[in-house]
A = this chain, B = another copy of it.
Amino acid sequence: MLRVRTRPLRVLSEEQVEEIHEASLAILERVGVEVHGEEALPLLVRAGAEVEATTRRVRLPRGLVETALRSAPSRFTLHARNPARDIDIGGDCIALLPTSGPAMVHSLEGGRRSGTIDDLVNFVKLAQWSPLLDAAFRCVEPVDLPPATRHLDYLYAAIRYSDKPLLAVGPGAVQARDALALAALLAGGAERLRQRPSVAIVVNVDSPLRFSAETVATIIAFARAGQPLQITPFVLPGIVAPVTPAGALAQENAEALAGLALAQIAHPGAPVVYGSFAAETDMRSAAPLFGTGQGVWLEVAAGQLAQRYRLPHRGMGLLCTAAVPDAQAAWEKMNCLWSLAFSHTHVLPHAAGWLEGGLTAGYEQFVLDLEMLNGLAAFLGGYSVDPESLALETIADVGPGGSYLLTEHTLANYRRVSCLSSLIGCAGDAGAEADLRSLWQRANALWRRWLAEYAEPPIDPGLHEAVRDYVARRRRGEGQSWA
């Protein structure tokens, strides 16, 4: 896994972190959140919340939030079907996850078109192949299949074509429970699953300050199953939160804390990742923009809050507004990349493939994103300082005005210290004109090679059969095996 050992960046002083924290507690205590569905309200009342049943407004006293913060773990392991693929969430690790959600695909040959199940499987295979990515994900929605059962198609593909940890998808509690049921099959039962967190899910808060019935049901189901929740507000300042970054952050933090409290009330000790997702808003069009200076500031600041709470932090990803892998995409994504390097991120969603504000998954962009992460990994890995690398003997031998090109030291070391890209950073494009096609062609050749190199991970035939059987039964409309 990618590890960050640099000192994290700070954009807020300690005092400012406390001011945001206090503002968030004030929001939860005085304004409260709206909580839908039938399960949560009795739990919240029992935990000391003040509930207005008619409006579903729930006000959370400070003590309730503080108790929840005490029971949430700071780090945990997300287990994989193949134990060699287990990943750490927390500490100095960053889990890199591919993008999820787009309904469109972009590729060199096909341009921009609807996603299909073949694309979904391709992306699962590419994520399985990648040494950098820590899990596969539903990079694209299989629009050619019936909506009601697409999550089953995804889960089957993720289990069959990847042995990395399983990531569940929404949007609702039905989908969440199917993922739990399949994860329990893989783990050997619900009790063993609880011992070994093996499937993680993202839930979004409906900002401002509202939890839908589906979100609440998912939080409660996952918390009780002991499976990790990534509770993530999606904040657009000026639209669903104050336009001022401090206010947007205070509200976002309040929302994340309310979700965390609900999870901890449902099951104390439930693994929760503190998610943040706040894009700068283009107030001319009310559209989100990604990779701007304000967006980076908001992400770093959210990371400081997560650190204050000693919670793993889910960052935002290599995001962009750009629709194709162009200069704008590189520009916006690089802003995201470097904030990551110096932030407190533990889970990076959308680490590869994201385009067009999340509407599109790009094949060539997927390759380019991994190459960006490779460069960052080289930087973060650093270089040794020792007698061999200091090379004083060689410096004396070469002397003033000499050449190092053919020295033994150069020949012995150059491969080890080099991290050159076959995609970017090469002077081969000198004189190239305004066409990006040569870059896209290089990226295209790479993902096609990776798909060719991909090998299906072994799966126990009985387990495979049980998974197929569950999916087939559910496709026929039979009941879920997870209550």
Q: A residues near B, CB below 8 A?
A: 6-7, 9-12, 16, 19-20, 23, 26-27, 30-34, 57, 111-112, 206, 208-210, 237-247, 250-251, 280, 282-287, 289-294, 296-297, 321-332, 334-335, 337-338, 341-342, 356-357, 368, 372, 374-379, 382-386, 388-392, 394-396, 398-405, 409-410, 413-414, 417-421, 424-427, 429-437, 439-440
Contacts and interface: CB of A to CB of B under 8 A. Distances in A.
Contacts of A388: 244
Given A9-B7, A390-B246, A425-B328, A400 B293 contact: no
B7 A7 contact: yes
Nearest to A383: B245
A399 B208 contact: yes
A280 B418 CA distance: 8
A326 B324 contact: no
A332 B424 contact: yes
A176 B440 CA distance: 46
13 contacts: A31-B395, A34-B400, A242-B391, A244-B413, A245-B417, A250-B391, A282-B425, A285-B427, A287-B427, A293-B419, A323-B427, A324-B432, A328-B429
B430 A323 contact: yes
A27 to B, nearest CB: 6
Contacts of A240: 403-404
Contacts of A376: 293
Contact of A16 (B374, B385, B417): B385
Given A27-B395, A31-B396, A292-B419, 18 more contacts: A6-B10, A7-B9, A16-B385, A19-B385, A32-B400, A34-B400, A57-B400, A243-B410, A247-B390, A280-B420, A289-B426, A289-B427, A296-B379, A323-B430, A327-B439, A328-B424, A328-B425, A435-B436
Contact of A335 (B26, B325, B374, B375): B375
Contact of A434 (B7, B324, B405): B324
A405 B247 contact: no
A410 B238 contact: yes
Given A247-B391, A321-B426, A392-B23, A434 B326 contact: yes
Contacts of A238: 404-405, 410, 414
Contacts of A6: 9-11
Contact of A436 (B327, B374, B424): B327
B26 A417 contact: no
Contact of A342 (B9, B31, B391, B424): B9
A420 B282 contact: yes
Contacts of A430: 323, 356
B282 A385 contact: no
Contact of A12 (B250, B293, B385, B404): B385
Contacts of A241: 404
A242 B383 contact: no
A30 B395 CA distance: 10
Nearest to A57: B400
Contacts of A329: 327
Residue from the set A30, A385, A401 with the largest chain B CB neighbour count within 10 Å = A385
A338 B339 CA distance: 8
B326 A395 contact: no
Nearest to A409: B242
Contact of A325 (B245, B327, B424): B327
Contacts of A389: 242, 244-247
Contacts of A379: 11, 293-294, 296-297
A208 B402 contact: yes
B7 A10 contact: yes
Contacts of A291: 425
A32 B284 CA distance: 62
A212 to B, nearest CB: 10
Contact of A289 (B334, B403, B425): B425
Q: Which of A23, A326, A388, A398 has the most CB of B within 10 A?
A: A326
Which of A289, A323, A404, A437 has the most chain B CB within a 10 Å cutoff? Answer: A404
A191 to B, nearest CB: 37
A429 B326 contact: yes
Contacts of A294: 378-379, 383, 417-419
A413 B237 CA distance: 11
A26 to B, nearest CB: 6
Contacts of A356: 427, 430
Q: Which 3 A-B pairs have the closest CB atoms?
A: A334-B334, A293-B378, A338-B338
